[in-house]
Amino acid sequence: DAKTTQPNSMESNEEEPVHLPCNHSTISGTDYIHWYRQLPSQGPEYVIHGLTSNVNNRMASLAIAEDRKSSTLILHRATLRDAAVYYCILRDYETGNQFYFGTGTSLTVIP
């Protein structure tokens, strides 16, 4: 599976938007981009996924670059409960049944 690169950590002020970047320069045409987050002492939680077009749901938005070599998870108004490790993952539906997590981005939200 193609690899992703994320910053190790980021900080955001409460109630401000947060843009979490992810690079995936070796993405293939059949790779979907998934985002999960993991709060302390919990299992990962699905956030959002997409293929080519930008996606929105109640938790976040996913902006995908036109060449698909990068993407950005957008939290529109960070809250203290959004403090977590965010994982950007590529999943090939044709060949892969599992997710390959990296080390993710640890997001700190400052009150």
**Shortest separation between residue 66's beta carbon and another protein, angstroms:** 22
CB closer to another protein out of 42 and 66: 42
Residues 6+ apart with CB under 8 A from 56: 62
d(CA 1, CA 96): 8
d(CA 80, CA 95): 37
d(CA 100, CA 111): 32
CB closer to another protein out of 13 and 57: 57
Summarize as ranges the residues that interact with another protein (CB under 8 A).
32, 34, 41-46, 49, 85, 87, 91, 97-104
**Shortest separation between residue 102's beta carbon and another protein, angstroms:** 5
Q: Give the pairing of strands 70-75 and 84-92.
A: unpaired
**Shortest separation between residue 75's beta carbon and another protein, angstroms:** 18
CB closer to another protein out of 1 and 63: 1
7 three-state secondary structure: coil
CB closer to another protein out of 46 and 76: 46
**Shortest separation between residue 84's beta carbon and another protein, angstroms:** 13
